[in-house]
């Protein structure tokens, strides 16, 4: 930590934070000479939240408090229009992405988040832990044996599925809930939020809800990025694919909690919804990857944080489709091996979502809501 006197005030500069942010992808911030071009071209920057220049400055200074207390990382959709026009090639879009990672890391259990943000072996370790719990559960209920018929509950009893799903789900919801509250608390203590008058709070909170709903349903802010159309479509498909799979799981648990005669036939409406959702999700992810490839010059290469995210989605989606393919072929052993891999990946996805890029799903809508409510956007 270093201290500097600026305009009569003491400014605390945390060099560790600055170095960490550089490791997270904000290394270009060192090149910035603060011309402000990026903020001028950013289609999402507004008077109340002028980014990305301010964030680049905070990173240059290693100003932990300013980075954590800013809603701006969540108002940016990484379209990289700023990076394409930066005269210093400082890639301010990457700085915004690094600030998001830093907030996720700071709002969750740091060591676990570190494993999914930077440590290359982290995903292997966490997948091993998930597999251990899964097989220990099967062993505990005496179900670690090969089935003789193509029914999933003959291999993985419903109690194992229910308990594993509940443990992973409760853990994820608790971590995500705490992370959302922490981020909102930090932002409420930030520079931009000081001027909210109490009398306006309730009506502002209600009036800002439609924005959040359109944001969640149609990613309205992201659609403003002119160069990001294919990415927006990919984002929408990924999100709706997920929602379809989430609804499918909910329907199965509500209609058929004992998982009797599960899996369903291929013509069952719930099964059709599941398979279509998986296909939409995988197509959406492919579009996002393609768009990144087309904008290689202005964006950073995929880093480990991105790959964990892609792996998690592809692994859950593709293993689900592989299970269906084996099932369609009537292959007993391959179906159940693929089913185990699928379940482990889905449990991993649920349990560790708040530590990964999935945290966007929970944190971003709340920050947008708060920013609207506070008159920042
Ligand atoms: S356009 Fe580039 S050099 Fe100018 S303020 Fe933004 S990041 Fe810095
Ligand atoms: S990446 Fe796009 S949304 Fe984010 S700061 Fe740059 S121009 Fe704005």
Ligand index nearest the alpha carbon of residue 91: 1
Residue 67 has pLDDT above 90, yes or no: yes
* Position with higher pLDDT, 231 vs 57: 57
Check residue 201 and give its pLDDT. Answer: 64
Distance (Å) from CA 298 to ligand 1 centroid: 13
Distance (Å) from CA 100 to ligand 1 centroid: 19
Query: Mean pLDDT throughout 295-311?
Result: 73
Which residues contact ligand 1 via a Cβ below 6 A?
A: 32-38, 53, 56, 86-88, 90, 92
CB 65 within 8 A of CB 13: no
Which domains occur in the chain, in start order?
2-107 (1.10.1060.10), 110-373 (no CATH)
Check residue 228 and give its pLDDT. Answer: 66
Q: Tokens 């251990």 belong to which residue? A: 132
Distance (Å) from CA 43 to ligand 2 centroid: 7
Residue 196 has pLDDT above 60, yes or no: no
Check residue 271 and give its pLDDT. Answer: 87
Lowest mean pLDDT among 219-233, 274-288, 290-304: 290-304
Close Cβ partners of 183 (under 8 Å, ≥ 6 residues apart): 74, 103, 107, 363, 366, 367
Distance (Å) from CA 111 to ligand 2 centroid: 29
CA 12 to chain centre: 31
d(CA 6, CA 3): 10
Mutate to test the pocket of ligand 1, among 45, 60, 90, 298 (most ligand atoms within 8 A of CB): 90
Closest CA to 362 of 184, 225, 206, 234: 184
- Tell me the three state secondary structure of residue 270: helix
> Which protein residue has the closest C-alpha to ligand 2 atom 2?
79
Ligand index nearest the alpha carbon of residue 295: 2
> Which protein residue has the closest C-alpha to ligand 2 atom 3?
76
Going by pLDDT thresholds of 50, 70 and 90, the confidence category of residue 150 is: confident
Distance (Å) from CA 91 to ligand 2 centroid: 10
Ligand index nearest the alpha carbon of residue 41: 2
Share of the chain above pLDDT 90, in %: 31
d(CA 192, CA 74): 14
Tell how strand 2-6 and strand 9-13 pair up. antiparallel
Ligand index nearest the alpha carbon of residue 85: 1
* Position with higher pLDDT, 144 vs 343: 343
Residue 79 has pLDDT above 90, yes or no: no
Residue 226 has pLDDT above 80, yes or no: no
d(CA 268, CA 275): 11
Which atom of ligand 1 is closest in space to residue 82's alpha carbon? 1
d(CA 156, CA 134): 10
Residue 150's Cβ-count burial label (10 Å; 0-12, 13-18, 19+) is middle
Which residues contact ligand 2 via a Cβ below 6 A?
A: 42, 44-45, 51-52, 76-82, 92-93, 96, 225
Distance (Å) from CA 255 to ligand 1 centroid: 55
Residue 137 has pLDDT above 70, yes or no: yes
H or E element that contains 11: strand 9-13
CB 91 within 8 A of CB 298: yes
H or E element that contains 4: strand 2-6
Distance (Å) from CA 149 to ligand 2 centroid: 53
Which atom of ligand 2 is closest in space to residue 92's alpha carbon? 6
> Which protein residue has the closest C-alpha to ligand 1 atom 8?
32
Query: Mean pLDDT throughout 48-58?
Result: 89
Reported pTM: 0.82
Distance (Å) from CA 34 to ligand 1 centroid: 5
Ligand index nearest the alpha carbon of residue 97: 2
Check residue 57 and give its pLDDT. Answer: 93
């Amino acid at each position: 930590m270093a201290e500097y006197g600026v305009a009569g005030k003491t400014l605390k500069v945390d060099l560790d934070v600055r170095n960490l942010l550089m490791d997270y992808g904000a290394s270009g911030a060192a090149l910035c000479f603060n011309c402000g071009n990026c903020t001028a071209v950013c289609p999402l920057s507004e008077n109340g939240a002028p980014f990305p220049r301010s964030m680049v400055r905070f990173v240059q200074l290693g100003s932990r408090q300013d980075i954590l207390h800013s809603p701006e990382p969540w108002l940016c959709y990484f379209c990289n229009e700023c990076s394409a026009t930066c005269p210093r090639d400082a890639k301010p879009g990457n700085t915004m992405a690094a600030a998001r990672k830093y907030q996720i890391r700071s709002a969750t259990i740091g060591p676990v988040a570190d494993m999914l943000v930077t440590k290359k072996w982290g995903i292997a370790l966490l997948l091993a832990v998930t597999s251990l719990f899964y097989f220990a559960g099967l062993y505990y209920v005496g179900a670690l044996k090969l089935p003789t018929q193509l029914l999933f509950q003959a291999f993985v009893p419903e109690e194992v599925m229910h308990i594993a799903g509940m443990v992973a789900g409760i853990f994820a919801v608790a971590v995500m809930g705490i992370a959302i509250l922490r981020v909102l608390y930090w932002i409420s203590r930030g520079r931009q939020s000081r001027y909210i008058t109490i009398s306006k709070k309730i009506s502002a909170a209600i009036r800002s809800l439609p924005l959040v709903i359109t944001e969640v349903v149609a990613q309205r802010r992201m659609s403003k990025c002119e160069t990001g159309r294919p990415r927006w479509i990919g984002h929408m498909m990924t999100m709706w694919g997920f929602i379809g799979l989430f609804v499918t799981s909910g329907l199965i648990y509500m209609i058929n909690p004992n998982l009797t005669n599960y899996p369903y036939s291929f013509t069952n409406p719930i099964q059709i919804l599941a398979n279509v959702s998986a296909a939409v999700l995988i197509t959406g992810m492919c579009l996002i990857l393609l768009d990144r490839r087309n904008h290689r010059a202005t964006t950073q290469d995929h880093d480990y944080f991105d790959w964990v995210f892609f792996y998690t989605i592809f692994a859950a989606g593709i293993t689900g489709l592989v299970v269906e393919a084996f099932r369609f072929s009537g292959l007993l052993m391959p179906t159940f091996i693929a089913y185990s891999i699928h379940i482990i990946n889905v449990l991993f996805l649920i349990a560790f979502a708040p530590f990964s890029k999935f945290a966007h799903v929970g944190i971003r809508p709340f920050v947008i809501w708060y920013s609207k409510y506070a008159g920042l956007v």
